Amino acid sequence: MPELPEVETVRRTLAPAIGARVTAVAQSGKPLRLGRPMPFARIKKALLGRRITGVRRHGKYLLVDVEGDAALLVHLGMSGRFRLFPPGAPVPPHTHLRLTLDDGREIRFTDPRRFGLVELVARATEREHPALAVLGRDPLVEGIEGAWLHEQARRRDVSLKSFLLDQSVIAGVGNIYASEALWRVRIRPTRRARRLGATEARALAKAVRAVLEHALDRGGTSLRDFVDADGVEGDNYEYLKVYGREGEPCPRCRTAIRRTIIQGRATYFCPTCQVP
DNA sequence: ATCACGACCTGGAGGC
DNA sequence: TGCCTCCAGGTCGTGA
């Protein structure tokens, strides 16, 4: 479901929970990513009775800070939702974690496919967590520059599409925005990363930031699962230029958009104005 | 060490 | 209506 703009949208809409105290913690007991159960006992011990002091994001990961040194680490996988419900709201199916707040609201992690992740980390050492340790630069937090991107790309013998999806380089770009950014700079997704020129790298770095910021301004892209912490869908889908638009005319040159598979993921491009 | 692929899950859409 | 197949915003372990 979620790439950087969607996760950032959730982060922002979850902010009204800051200051509230956690009065109850409940779980489904179902395993999540890799069939691993969430460390519920540790989560409960660290969160119960504590106030939420912040909600942060790095790449596609969310961190919910509480009093003390603990933070709840959350990844939404493909179908995960992380929402703030009003008091008494019905509990949706596939709800794996519930944090009841002192005013009756509930933060709930819901994930039918269970590709998501919920962990507990110590803030002081959070970057040592395997999921966070490998993350590259977040385009909207740390920023990415053309020269840096060029240097990264030179050393990799993968397609540019795969390169953009590599979270150890850029943290937060996923399948939608990888196709969108490459369309903007008129480069085929199949182009080898090492063949990216310096000028192209500058344009690509700018395009990555632009597509992410544009989507964020629209509350993210809702294809099927995505809603913010208030349950509201984002309306960025109508602004996508190529993703999910096989057969539709390219907005630049009217050629039919093509769909191909790169590393097992659907990839969209214009065969005319995106150069190999 | 890098890289490509399949597995991990459930549910929705479309074909028959 | 029901059954089947395909597809999905991500990540990780495997084996070449």
Does the structure show a pLDDT above 90 at A96?
Answer: yes
Q: Please give the pLDDT value at position A154.
A: 96
Convert the pLDDT of each residue in A22-31 to its tens digit: 999 999 999 9
Asked whether residue A139 carries a pLDDT value surpassing 90, the answer given is yes
Q: Is the CB of A210 under 7 A from strand B?
A: no
Which pLDDT score is estimated for A63? 98
pLDDT reading at A170 higher than 70: yes
Question: What is the pTM (predicted TM-score) of this model?
Answer: 0.97
Average pLDDT rounded to a whole number, residues A137-149: 97
Nearest to A73 by CA among A225, A81, A229, A65: A65
CA distance A110 to A79: 8
Using the structure, give the distance in angstroms from the CA atom of A251 to the C1' atom of B2, rounded to a whole number: 36
Residue with the two structure tokens 């974690």: A97
Residue A225, pLDDT score: 84
Q: How far apart are CA A157 and CA A198, in angstroms?
A: 16
Q: How confident is residue A1, by pLDDT bands cut at 50, 70 and 90?
A: low
Structure tokens at A254: 């009217």
Residue A257's pLDDT is 97
| Coil, helix or strand at residue A100 | strand
Among residues A11, A60, A83, A108, the one annotated as catalytic is A60
Dihedral of CA atoms A260, A244, A249, A182 in degrees, nearest 10, equals -60
Per-residue pLDDT tens digits for A49-78: 999 999 999 999 999 999 999 999 999 999
| Nearest residue for C12, CA–C1' | A34
Mean pLDDT computed over every residue of chain A:
96
Chain B bases closer than 7 A to any CB of the protein: 2-12
- pLDDT at residue A234 in the model: 93
d(CA A227, CA A76): 11
Classify each residue of A29-62 as buried b or exposed e, where b means 16 or more C-beta atoms within 10 Å of its C-beta. eeebbeeeebebeebbebbeeebbeebebbbbbb
Give me the A residues in range 118-177 that sit within 7 A (CB) of strand C: 130-131, 134, 165, 167, 174-176
